[in-house]
Structure 1
Amino acid sequence: MAETIYALSSGAVPSGVAVIRVSGEKTAKIVKALCGRVPPVRSTILSKLVDPQTGEILDEALVIYFQGPRSFTGEDVVEFHCHGGRAVVSRMLAVLGTFDNCRPAEPGEFTRRAFDRGRMDLTEVEGLADLIAAETESQRKQAIRQMGGALGKLYEDWRKRLIHMRAMIEADFDFADEEDVPGSVADEVWQETAVLHSEISDHLERSRSGERLRSGLQVVLMGAPNAGKSSLLNAIAGRDVAIVTEEAGTTRDVIEVHLDLGGYPVTLVDTAGLRRTDGVVEKEGIRRAEAKGREADLILWAVEPGGVDLEDTASGLPEDLRQEVPVWRIHTKGDLETHPKQDSSGTIKEIACSSKSDEGMSALFGALTHFAEETISIGEVPLATRERHRHYLKDCLAGLRTAIESEHLPTELRAEDLRRAADALGRITGRIDVEDLLDVIFRDFCIGK
């Protein structure tokens, strides 16, 4: 008999209401012992909760009973909506622990049971995790779409198309003499394989936006020491995050601030000033600054009046880095210089601002928000959101590509490549061979979910 599990599923106590969830075969027995009866399915009742061993009233709560398989986990589930005091919750959990074969839930165990019973696929599970972790409106929308099954349905539709293609090929060489099996089936399958390869390739390319949305856009502040980077960071963040002094080279390590710009997640990174130095610590800071720059979606090069510019051969931004990542020139300390020197090529965006007077800050905010919208806008199309998805999509494409390009090989071998491609899609949704992934996926869930 599977164990019945229980946990506090709402936020930390004390709170106005605490939701305690129970799932498993003994759920109905537990409800009857505490309430004196089992409530009608999916109906809310107000009931006194009584300790079955002492007869003591524990609390008066709303009780909702869900009968499996029409519940979150697919098992019988009950939710006790108790008062959110520490003593109430502690005593309720203690009483639940007295029932035979009933124990506290592990992190993510309710959701894992939902997956095990086919109530959710892995993309929906990951969407739920992303929804809990969402910090911005756009992240919430993407997580809701994924949790609703849009991504899993897309991958499952592709997998079914591949299974159908394999079936047609097998029919082609198993029943070639039959009149109702078209002779050109295999040719049509390889044409369809090429179409599917194109669809998945396009999806993978568009999905970079989905991954950026989930992790946040990386905007890195770079420039020479004392160029005003830390002051700019504090001004954008709206609080004192970095130490600001007149001494050059104050910032030695990477400082990160997470922002919500127009509903889009942005991580703003302050780095050590770039210059030639013999200091071991500062050299390491500069190395980390360049490394962060190479990971960035956008670099803001801070330059003060008369300061070190982008193209400075001694301390400017490395040439290869300027080619890899978009760069904006930010003229800091704008209160000291009204008309900054403009880039003659016109290819680099220039913004003048002052963290002291707030001059130009609204323009910088607007430009960053617009950049985030253009870079990670995802529309209504479901997109891959994790490196795990990308890995298996690439495996799928590899199988399709091999099948398409292996015209010289027997049809049976090319059909095996289609099977490999279909299995890769099945591993994204959890249909095939994902047992080794489950602990990794569920371990970051909170207890009670």
Structure 2
Amino acid sequence: MISADTIVALSSGRLPAGVAVIRISGPKTRFVVETIAGGMVKGRVASLRKLRAPDGGVLDSGLVIFFPGPGSFTGEDVAEFQVHGGRAVVARLLETIAGFEGVRHAEAGEFTRRAFLNGKVDLVRTEALADLVNAETEAQRRFAVQNAEGAQAELYLSWRQRLIHARAMIEAEIDFADEDDIPGSVSDTVWSDVSAMIGEIDRHIAGFRAGEILRDGFEVVILGAPNAGKSSLFNALARRDAAIVTDEPGTTRDLLEIVLDLEGLRVRLTDTAGLRDAAGKVEAIGIEKARSKAHGADLLLILEDMADPHPVALQREGIATLRVGTKLDLVHGQAAAGGYDRAISTKDGTGVAELLTEIARLAAAQVAEAGDILPSRLRHVELLGEANRFLLRAAESPDAGQELRAEDLRLAADRLGRIVGAVDVEDMLDVIFSQFCIGK
């Protein structure tokens, strides 16, 4: 698909910078490049050129690279100007390029959208590119690279291909039951494979939480009674005074959050209001927020002042929990009597590093248990769930007739195709590409 207009955008990072990259894609790309660069530019070769406006005024000097379509990122003619990264330089170049007839500024994600529409990437790889751009930790980078290289797409397309084959075998049996070269029944083989696939998809869906942890972070919530040392621990891990710490109970009334990088994994740590019954109206709202946040956590740190313990009651079924005794410096080595998982002192730092190591270990364990290829979007999980419901209906309805069961296989294959964009997905494109930055 060749677009009618040509788009331009800054594709590098925040200005000012040492170098800025301006990208163009579309049918007017070659004309724009030859006009600004002052002549022909050889494809896929970086050329140092003096860049001029159509009136002959010098804009800057920099490298020009031209990628002829279809062998480019978008499948169209693409060019990049690598210029000095000053705000005025970039603004003037963008203004000049967008001033050509048929050229306009790109919308968010429009370069990648053209790549998808021209068959250069599928939807899963497209989403992985967005994750790669936004990756902050090593684990996020590895996860995004794996999916950008096609691991997810290959899995979903392999399931879809198996369903297409199964459906073809069933329809062959229906249409050519009297032919000698068609087996009398393919049901045993087909439905055995469908049953196996249902289990494979279920196990894959179960890994979604691990995928969320890799993309969005491992959720750790600090809970405890007032003055249990929650904000002191929060500040120690943030390495700054992010939360107010006083002897007055109820100082923290809202949720405070920091993001940590623990051994390559993104960890979101939330400080909460102290849990107690007698509280003012505002503090009570904070306590309710704390309890609500705890329900969605991957790990709860239940802090208790070992010098003046006040246990808190929580419903935490299915959520990993660490009981952490605080103010170790005040109890003179008597922490073991409380049965705590960890004992710390934020005053002198004792036990804090070991607590971080344990949090990292628990986060890594949740990810490792889920397997290698994980769903990375709720969109994937919803479509996989729909596919499995059709497969279950087909597998568990032997009296429904082969035609109806074959139709369920078609519907399941359709849902798998929608994940990678192998069937019509126009209704979801705007949502997907809106996640991208301008210039990507």
Using the size of structure 1 for normalisation, the TM-score is 0.94
Of the three residues 409, 420, 432, the one matched with 2:423 is 432
Secondary structure of 2:341's counterpart equals strand
Q: C-alpha offsets along residues 60-100 of structure 1, whole Å, 9 cap, x if unaligned?
A: 11111111111111100000001111221111111112211
In the other structure, the counterpart of 2:60 is: 59
Task: Using the TM superposition, give the Cα deviation of residue 379 of structure 1 relative to its aligned residue in structure 2, in angstroms.
Answer: 8.6
For structure 1, the residue ranges without an aligned partner over 5 or more in a row are 311-315
Aligned sequence identity (%)? 50
Counterpart in 1 of 2:313?
A: 317
**1:157, 1:207 → 2: CA distance?**
19
1:317-356 to 2 correspondence within 5 Å? 317-318=313-314, 321-337=315-331, 338-342=333-337, 350-356=341-347
Tell me the equivalent position of 2:4.
Answer: 2
For 1:414, the equivalent position in structure 2 comes to: 405
Question: How do 1:223-234 and structure 2 match up within 5 A?
Answer: 223-234=224-235
Aligned match of 1:114: 115
Cα distance between partner residues in 1 of 2:195 and 2:260: 42
Report if the CA contact (8 A) 2:210-2:370 is conserved: no
Kindly report the root-mean-square deviation, in angstroms, between the aligned alpha carbons of the 2 structures.
Answer: 1.5
SS of the equivalent of 1:323 reads: coil
Q: Does 1:178 align with 2:175?
A: no
After superposition, give the CA deviation of every residue in 1:297-318 in whole Å (9 maximum; x if it has no partner).
11000000244454xxxxx122
Alignment of structure 1 residues 54-93 onto 2, 5 Å: 54-93=55-94
Deviation string 1:200-231 (CA, Å, 9 cap, x unpaired) is: 11111233211221110001000000100000
**Contact 1:210 / 1:378 at 8 angstroms: preserved in 2?**
no
What is the distance in 2 between the residues matched to 1:199 and 1:325? 26
For the residue of structure 2 that corresponds to 1:357, the secondary structure is coil
SS of match in other structure, 1:322: coil
The answer for the alignment partner of 2:436 in structure 1 is 445
SS in 2 for 1:199: helix
Contact 2:207–2:371 (CA under 8 A) maintained in structure 1: no
- Aligned equivalent of 2:103: 102
Query: Counterparts of 2:236 and 2:164 in 1: how far apart (Å)?
Result: 56
- Which runs of structure 2 are paired with 1:12-23 in the superposition (5 Å)? 12-23=14-25
**Alpha-carbon separation, structure 2, partners of 1:80 and 1:397:** 48
Alignment-mate amino acid for residue 43 of structure 2: V
1:22-44 deviation digits (Å, cap 9, x = unpaired): 00011111111112323221111
Instruction: Trace 1:185-334 onto structure 2 (pairs within 5 A).
Output: 185-310=186-311, 316-318=312-314, 321-334=315-328
Gaps of 5+ in 2: none
Which aligned pairs between 1:21-40 and structure 2 lie closer than 5 A?
21-40=23-42
Offset from partner CA, 1:416-448 (integer Å, 9 cap, x none):
111111111111112223212111111121100
Name the SS of the counterpart of 1:63 in structure 2: strand
**1:41 corresponds to:** 43
Distance change >3 Å, CA 386–CA 309, structure 1 → 2: farther
Q: For 1:327, what is the secondary structure of its paired residue? A: strand
Work out the number of aligned pairs and report it: 437
| Distance in 2 between residues matched to 1:2 and 1:272, nearest whole Å | 56
The 1-side partners of 2:225 and 2:124 are apart by 44
Helix, strand or coil at the partner of 1:373: helix
Q: 1:343: how far off?
A: 5.8
1:139 match: 140
Question: Per-residue displacement from partner, 1:224-279 (whole Å, max 9, x unpaired)?
Answer: 00100000111112221111111111000111111100100100011111101241
Could you tell me which residue of structure 2 aligns to residue 313 of structure 1?
Answer: none
Please give the alpha-carbon distance, in whole angstroms, between the structure 2 residues aligned to 1:147 and 1:64.
24
CA distance in 1, matches of 2:411, 2:79: 42
